[in-house]
A and B are shown apart, each in its own frame.
Chain A
Amino acid sequence: MTERVPVSMTVNGEDVQRFVEPRTTLGDFLRVEMELTGTHLGCEMGVCGACLVLLNGKPIHSCLMLAVAAEGETIETVEGLAESKAIADIQQAFHNRNALQCGFCTPGMLVTAHEILKSEHPLTREEIRDELSGNYCRCTGYEAIVDAIEQVFVARAAGREVEASGQFAETAA
């Protein structure tokens, strides 16, 4: 076992200091040390996108980065994005359209969707599919995810919230 070293960063708006083994990835740090288990690990080699988080506002693979390399940086995970309501309309659209089944890829999908939706002009379905190609989903077949992102583009362009669909739909947490 190697000596633990101090690391500090801002996670979901909170300043945190911990001692970690230098080999600990940011993904493991968030999941194990911070107990933020919304960030998922699907491949641990930068392929599947389940582990995406925001580093200073930009999506990165938390499985590829060491926790110590995030020293002094600002990290946002799906939990933080959900609590700050930054992705409330995306969550609602995913819920309406059932753009998740098992939900394991979902945190990464939400992070990518959040990034895609920063585009100044609405993307076409084909463009959305291209942008999603670093996120693997084994359950949905992707179409519902594309639909949900499209729905948010339309709502944002019209300056609307995404409404809960159908008379029985619940609102996103």
Chain B
Amino acid sequence: MENMLTQTAARPLPTGAPLTATSQPVIHLRDIEKVYQTKTIETVALNRVNLTINKGEFVSIMGPSGCGKSTLLSIIGLLDEPTSGVIELDGRPVQSYSDKELAYLRNQKIGFVFQSYHLINDLSVLDNVELPLLYRAGVGGKERRERAYAALDKVGLSARTNHFPSQLSGGQRQRVAIARALAGRPEIILADEPTGNLDSVMGEEIMDLLLGLNQQEGTTIVMVTHDEQQAHKTQRLIRFFDGSQVS
């Protein structure tokens, strides 16, 4: 089986969007391969992926279900190791980072929006959003609270701060997951279908929020989406395609 990576290099930029991307690479993937091995089957989820993402870029990734988008994102997000290949973050291969340094990078640099949200059911919405700041030295309780409120406000959930995830709709949970990624004010946001569960109006709003972050704060964003329209609003669209095999 073969995964193909098609890069559409010259996409027209959305009208009026200032060019925030630089030519300074933050993420660089070289010959990344990911093979999932189970008892019965071997799945090649990523097959020799080469990809460079520059600082301040807003990239979207599209492709059919099961083609390895989430896998790619979790490797970029330092949540999983590739079977082979090299990932460089700010020019340094991540294999050389210690466990502590990796934790630091995940905490300070990267904000991850998971496809399946991953909220802690035993914590309130507010506590969930505060979580990344909890692992950051030098951020006091008051500041944590304020930044969590601000992030929840941005996704329109300030009225739900004391709810628990089980008391929220799917779309609301998704927005909590987005707020959690925003609260840490990361340099890089990795969003796995962040609007997948939202109605079109809400999806638009989140999209605008991300665009705003990208343009005003220079946040580098990699977003997986199934929405062509949204994808076209970003600076670069990468298409992932699973060649032959479906497991």
| Chain A bound to chain B | no
